Chains A and B, each alone.
Chain A
Amino acid sequence: MVMNTQHNMEERLWNFIDGTAPGNEKTVIEKLIASDDDWRAKYQELLQVNEVLRSSELEAPSLRFTKNVMEEIAKLQIAPATKTYINKKIIWGISFFFIAMLTGFLVYGFGQMDLGGGEESTISKNFSKFDISKFFSNTWVNVFMMINVVLGLVLLDHYLGNKRKAFRKESN
């Protein structure tokens, strides 16, 4: 209990010293410091720690430090920014490709199922009747697959074209 109170007091005082205590809390702590000996003593103690920490000096590396770094970076090239080699359009294109494919299969699959009433038309029975070869022999599925393949090839061509342009620009 005493430990908790002490801990709480320190935490509130650190917030006060750091300037992160909210407005009304600030006023409460100011009053406590002015009226309570324990609070005042603890405040002085923490304030001293704070000042000592603020006044601590930085360490310095060896005198050759900058020279060493500059010698090392002379052998390097700055890498291109991540955003330039991860083209968002390609990510969107791939996402669109897969979403279109999934949606197409789902729409077609549900279209083939008889979900109407009747004693024998339960979903489980429909699933047992599900014949995958039927889907791939259908003209519309073949057309859909062909569109996807063409779309994929167009995206690939676009991507390679951009790469080629960038390479030419760099070599010029």
Chain B
Amino acid sequence: MSTGLNDNEIISKVLRGDHAAYAVLVNRYQNFVFTLVLRMVKNREDAEEIAQDVFIKAYKYLADFRGASKFTTWLYTIVNNTSITFLRKKKLDIHSLDNERVFEMAENQDSGMRANLVEQKSKQAMVNNAIAMLGPDDAEIITLFYKAEQSLEEIAAILGLEANTAKVRLHRARTRLKDKMETYFADEVRDLH
């Protein structure tokens, strides 16, 4: 079994012809990739399809991964490009979705996050719903930083930005998230204090 191996060892096995070893990488990172895509495209079905596409692309071009960065950094670059291409096709403005629109999207999405905002009072639901209300680029940078274990330098590489620009974007995204939480989940935020 390849489960105890690190990413680079598994990649070497796959490149030597052990294609089944790739399943370990898929199992290891499917939740990270799926969450990242879901938070960007805001639709569970689309997210599943895109996440699958990401793993298929990663497999096809695995020989191009030279180990200069972490495998996840390379993988999330594919996530970023594939999701942006999808959003562009859907003609969504990835930079500035107005509040009303994202709120509508967050409420209408057929995902696990669709849970009733009034009934589900947990911190988890609140933060997931608040992130769903952000624009795709804000949701992406927050997810990369907090859930995908990427440093600011790695995030900058994934998004094709300077490290300082990534830092400013993360700061702005968190400010917008805090505003959403205070505006739409005031009770839950009060419970936190």
Q: Which residues of A contact B (CB under 8 A)?
A: 10-11, 14-15, 18, 20, 44-46, 48-49, 52-62, 65-66, 68-70, 72-74, 76, 78-82, 84
Contact A14 B171 (CB under 8 A): yes
Q: In the complex the two chains form, what is the Cα distance from A73 to B18 in whole Å?
A: 12
Within 8 Å by CB of B123, from A46, A55, A84, lies A55
Q: Could you give, for residues 120-146 of chain B, a 1 whenever the CB lies within 8 Å of some chain A CB and a 0 otherwise?
A: 000110111001000000000010001
Q: In the complex the two chains form, what is the Cα distance from A74 to B167 in whole Å?
A: 40
Within 8 Å by CB of B23, from A14, A57, A66, lies A66
Q: In the complex the two chains form, what is the Cα distance from A52 to B130 in whole Å?
A: 11
Across-interface contacts of A57 in B (CB, < 8 A): 124, 128
Q: In the complex the two chains form, what is the Cα distance from A61 to B55 in whole Å?
A: 13
The B interface is mostly helix, strand or loop, or mixed, namely helix
The 5 closest A-B pairs by CB, nearest first: A81-B63, A58-B31, A61-B34, A59-B35, A53-B146
Q: In the complex the two chains form, what is the Cα distance from A11 to B34 in whole Å?
A: 30
* Closest B residue to A7 using CB positions: B175
Across-interface contacts of B38 in A (CB, < 8 A): 59
Contact A76 B52 (CB under 8 A): no
Within 8 Å by CB of A72, from B56, B66, B124, lies B56
Across-interface contacts of A56 in B (CB, < 8 A): 124, 127-128, 131, 146-147
Contact B146 A20 (CB under 8 A): no
**5 pairs, CB–CB < 8 Å, chain A vs chain B:** A45-B178, A61-B31, A61-B51, A73-B60, A78-B15
* Closest A residue to B168 using CB positions: A11
Does B91 have its Cβ within 8 Å of any Cβ on chain A?
no
Q: In the complex the two chains form, what is the Cα distance from A91 to B32 in whole Å?
A: 40
Contact B174 A70 (CB under 8 A): no
Contact A20 B64 (CB under 8 A): no
Instruction: Say whether, besides A53-B142, A59-B31, A65-B52, A76 and B23 are in contact (CB < 8 Å).
Output: no
Within 8 Å by CB of B124, from A46, A55, A74, lies A55
Across-interface contacts of A68 in B (CB, < 8 A): 52
